């Protein structure tokens, strides 16, 4: 009989196919597990699959007294109460770096699309304004990438890949992270100093209590009226109302966002703005990154059920 895995978050069916071939999936589909399964069924659960951003509390863990592992699909694990898991001897796994290239790609896509105002210029062609030689501020030349100062906040796997891509555009790359790395980019000791220096801030830091609202009104003001912010990390890292205000009153020039404070909701004040490019948390969502993430998930579950340590365990959990 195949080992049982409770699927805690709501996932597209296509992403579950390979797991279904190996394990018996019990799909809670985003509901509280005790609303879907009996206490007896839940006591038989030793392994859970979740999305890293979905809240997974101590109370939820206690619904499954025999739970031994929580495996996150993707690199993030910010929804999981790591202290509670550690206290209960639950190993937390994830897919480190499996989607880093895809996420870095969407970061650069958002950077280029916002700084070159891609949505507006596409509309200018589509609605006939170009053919009609309609005067438009959209046709005024903008600062491009050459020599532009781009700041990367966070130098994990994704931050590194963002930096490497951005540098290929003949830009000047700087970064802030907890520690200085051996890399050919200028290090800034604080986020404030990085924001003061750069004109595009790429947010690639891991979400957590220490980074919640790290990008606030003060940081946005330092970025300045020609500045852009791109966030592919988590919505929690940016003070979203402060960002909306800064975009509305011209404190900064624009933003590219793959993540939001209350997904899947993006505030109306944000979706109404012309100077943003929005993506529904699709950063890591490519065919090749899903294969890589699924490889990590399967390796974690197979190791667990074989009584071995998780190959992709969250460190410090």
Tell me which residues touch its own copies (CB under 8 A): 12, 14, 101-102, 105-106, 108-109, 112-113, 116, 118-119, 121-122, 124-126, 128, 130-131, 133, 139-147, 164-165, 167-170, 264-266, 271, 277-280, 282, 285-290
Active site residue 265: no
Question: What tokens appear for 8 in the block?
Answer: 């805690």
Residue where the block lists tokens 């606030």:
216
Catalytic residue among 281, 285, 290, 313: 281
Question: What tokens appear for 78 in the block?
Answer: 């910010």
Which residue's CB is nearer to its own copies, number 278 or number 298? 278
Phi, then psi, of 122 in degrees rounded to 5: -65, -45
In the complex, least distance from residue 97 CB atom to its own copies, rounded to whole angstroms: 12
Active site residue 206: no
Q: Distance between CA 16 and CA 7 in Å, rounded? A: 9
In the complex, least distance from residue 315 CB atom to its own copies, rounded to whole angstroms: 25
Which residue's CB is nearer to its own copies, number 36 or number 121? 121
Which residue's CB is nearer to its own copies, number 1 or number 131? 131
In the complex, least distance from residue 123 CB atom to its own copies, rounded to whole angstroms: 9
* Sequence-separated (6 or more) residues with CB below 8 Å from residue 7: 16, 19, 25, 26, 27, 28, 29, 48, 49
**Secondary element (H or E) of residue 33:** helix 33-36
Which residue's CB is nearer to its own copies, number 106 or number 201? 106
Catalytic residue among 170, 263, 265, 288: 263
Q: Distance between CA 148 and CA 144 in Å, rounded? A: 7
In the complex, least distance from residue 171 CB atom to its own copies, rounded to whole angstroms: 10
Other Cβ atoms less than 10 A from the Cβ of 66: the count is 10
Which residue's CB is nearer to its own copies, number 160 or number 206? 160
In the complex, least distance from residue 44 CB atom to its own copies, rounded to whole angstroms: 30
Provide the terminal-to-terminal Cα distance of the chain, rounded to the nearest Å. 31
Cβ atoms 152, 129 nearer than 8 A: no
Which residue's CB is nearer to its own copies, number 1 or number 133? 133
Side-chain half-sphere of 186: how many Cα atoms within 13 Å? 15
Cβ atoms 26, 41 nearer than 8 A: yes
Cα separations in angstroms, 27 against 4, 7, 41: 10, 5, 12
In the complex, least distance from residue 240 CB atom to its own copies, rounded to whole angstroms: 14
Active site residue 263: yes
Q: Distance between CA 92 and CA 85 in Å, rounded? A: 7
Q: Distance between CA 205 and CA 174 in Å, rounded? A: 14
- Catalytic annotation, residues: 234, 263, 281
């Amino acid at each position: 009989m195949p080992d049982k895995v409770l699927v805690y978050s709501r996932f597209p069916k296509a992403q579950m196919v390979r797991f279904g071939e190996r394990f018996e999936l019990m799909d809670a589909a985003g509901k509280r597990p005790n609303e879907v399964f009996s206490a007896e069924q839940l006591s038989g659960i030793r392994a859970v699959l979740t999305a890293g951003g979905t809240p997974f509390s101590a109370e939820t863990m206690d619904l499954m007294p025999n739970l031994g592992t929580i495996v996150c699909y993707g690199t993030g694990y910010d929804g999981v109460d790591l202290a509670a898991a550690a206290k209960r001897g639950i190993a937390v796994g994830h897919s480190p770096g499996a989607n880093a290239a895809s996420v870095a790609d969407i970061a650069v896509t958002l950077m280029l699309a916002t700084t070159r105002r891609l949505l507006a210029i596409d509309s200018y062609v589509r609605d006939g304004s170009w053919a009609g030689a309609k005067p438009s501020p959209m046709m005024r030349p903008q600062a491009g990438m050459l020599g532009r100062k781009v700041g990367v906040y966070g130098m994990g796997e994704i931050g590194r890949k963002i930096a490497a891509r951005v540098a290929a555009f003949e830009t000047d790359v700087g970064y802030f992270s907890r520690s200085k790395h051996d890399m050919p980019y200028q290090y800034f000791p604080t986020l404030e100093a990085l924001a003061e220096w750069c004109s595009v801030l790429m947010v690639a830091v891991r979400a957590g209590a220490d980074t919640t609202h790290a990008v606030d009104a003060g940081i946005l003001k330092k970025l300045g009226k020609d500045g852009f912010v791109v966030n592919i990390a988590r919505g929690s890292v940016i003070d979203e109302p402060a960002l909306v205000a800064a975009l509305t009153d011209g404190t900064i020039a624009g933003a590219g966002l793959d993540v939001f404070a209350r997904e899947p909701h993006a505030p109306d004040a944000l979706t109404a703005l012309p100077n943003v490019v929005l993506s529904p948390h699709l950063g890591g969502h490519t065919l090749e990154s899903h294969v890589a993430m699924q490889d990590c998930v399967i390796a974690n579950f197979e190791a667990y059920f074989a009584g071995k340590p998780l190959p992709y365990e969250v460190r410090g959990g």
